[in-house]
Homo-oligomer: A and B are copies of this chain.
Amino acid sequence: MSLADFGRKELDIAEHEMPGLMAARKEFGPAQPLAGVRVMGSLHMTIQTAVLAETLEALGADVRWCSCNIFSTQDHAASACVRAGTANIFAWKGETLEEYWWCTDKALTWPDGEGMDQIVDHGGDATLLLHEGKKFEEQFAKDKSLPDPASTDNAEFKCVLATIKNSIAKDPTRFTRMVQRMVGVSEETTTGVHRLIAMADVGELLFPAINVNDCVTKSKFDNVYGCRHSLPDGIMRATDVMLSGKKVVICGFGDVGKGSAASMRAQNAITYVTEIDPICALQACMEGYQVVTMEDLISEADVFITTTGNKDIITLEHMKKMKNNAIVGNIGHFDNEIQMEQLEKATTRMNIKPQCDKYTFPDGHGVIVLAEGRLLNLGCATGHPSFVMSNSFTNQTLAQLELRKAYVEAGKDKAKSKYQNQVYLLPKELDEKVARLHLGQLGAHLTELSTEQADYIGVKKSGPYKPTTYRY
Contacts and interface: CB of A to CB of B under 8 A. Distances in A.
Interface string A434-472: 011011001111111110110011000001011001011
B268 A236 contact: no
A9 B236 CA distance: 17
A283 B472 contact: yes
A276 B312 contact: no
Nearest to A269: B288
Contacts of A214: 469
Nearest to A282: B435
Interface stretch (A31-39, A79-87, A112-120, A221-229): A221-229
Given A244-B229, A310-B457, A432-B277, A325 B283 contact: no
A50 to B, nearest CB: 14
Nearest to A247: B443
Taking each of A216, A228, A237, A445, which has the highest tally of chain B beta carbons within 10 Å of its own beta carbon? A445
B350 A9 contact: yes
B16 A282 contact: no
B447 A275 contact: yes
Contact of A285 (B219, B245, B452): B245
Nearest to A252: B447
Interface residues of A, number: 103
Contacts of A312: 450, 452-453
Contacts of A286: 221, 224-225, 244-245, 268
A174 to B, nearest CB: 34
30 contacts: A10-B353, A17-B241, A17-B242, A225-B242, A228-B244, A228-B268, A232-B232, A242-B388, A244-B285, A245-B285, A245-B288, A245-B442, A245-B444, A255-B471, A265-B288, A267-B288, A268-B288, A270-B289, A276-B447, A281-B439, A282-B391, A282-B439, A282-B442, A285-B438, A285-B442, A290-B443, A292-B445, A310-B453, A310-B457, A311-B452
Interface of A: 9-10, 13, 16-17, 214, 216-217, 219-221, 224-225, 228-229, 232-233, 236-237, 239-247, 255, 265-271, 274-294, 296, 300, 309-312, 324-325, 350, 352-353, 358, 368, 381-382, 385-388, 391, 431-433, 435-436, 438-439, 442-450, 452-453, 456-457, 463, 465-466, 469, 471-472
